[in-house]
A = this chain, B = another copy of it.
C-alpha cells in the first residue's frame, strides 16, 4: 500500500538526529514493547509480513507522530484484535475481561535463547529457473496495490540492472495476507539516481532494492 511507512524520497523531516553508540532502548516500555511483539510473533498466529502490514496501515498522521516502538505496539494491538485474541473493549479499558483463547504456541522462557538464535530462512526451493541474470536490464512494475508490497513508490516504473540473485524467497505481497508463501526469485536491482530522481540527481549515486521477480518486467 502507499502508506506513511513508504518514506523514500519524502522531504520535510529535518536533519537526522544522531545518537552516540549505546543501548538501543531509551525507556523501559520500549524493551517490553519489543519483547511482546517477539513473544506474540512466536505464537504463530501471524507472520512478519502481516506485522509490517499492520504497522504501515496505521493512519499516516498517527504513524508519523508515533515513536517507533509505539508503532509496533499499536500494530500489535490491531493484530490481537483482528485475530480475536484481545477485544477492542479490553484494550480501551486496559484490562482482560474474559479468559484467553487457545494460542497455537506459548513461548516458554527456557526456549527464548534458542528461538532467537535459530535461523528461520525465508528462502524456499522453487522449480522455475530465475528469469533474469546478473547484468540484465529490468523495469519495475508500476503497481499500487492496497495490500502489502515491498516495492517502494520511488522505485516503481524505473529501469535498473540486476546486481545479485538471492535465491527464491517468500513473497510478502501474498504472505502478509495469509494467502500463502508463493516464493519467487529475489534480486538486487540497482538504479542510477538519475533514473530514480531525474537529471538533477547526483550522478555518482546509485540505489539498490531487493525485488521479487513479479515486481520486474523486461525494460
Contact = CB atoms under 8 A, between A and B. Distances in A.
Bin chain A's interface residue count: 35 or more
B59 A13 contact: yes
Nearest to A142: B198
Copies per assembly: 2
A2 B13 contact: no
A11 to B, nearest CB: 5
A204 interface: no
Interface stretch (A16-24, A60-68, A92-100, A169-177): A60-68
A4 interface: yes
A12 B59 contact: yes
A151 B58 CA distance: 27
Interface string A143-160: 111100000010011000
Contacts of A65: 61-62, 64-65
Given A142-B198, A143-B198, 8 more contacts: A2-B10, A3-B10, A3-B11, A9-B144, A12-B58, A12-B63, A61-B61, A61-B64
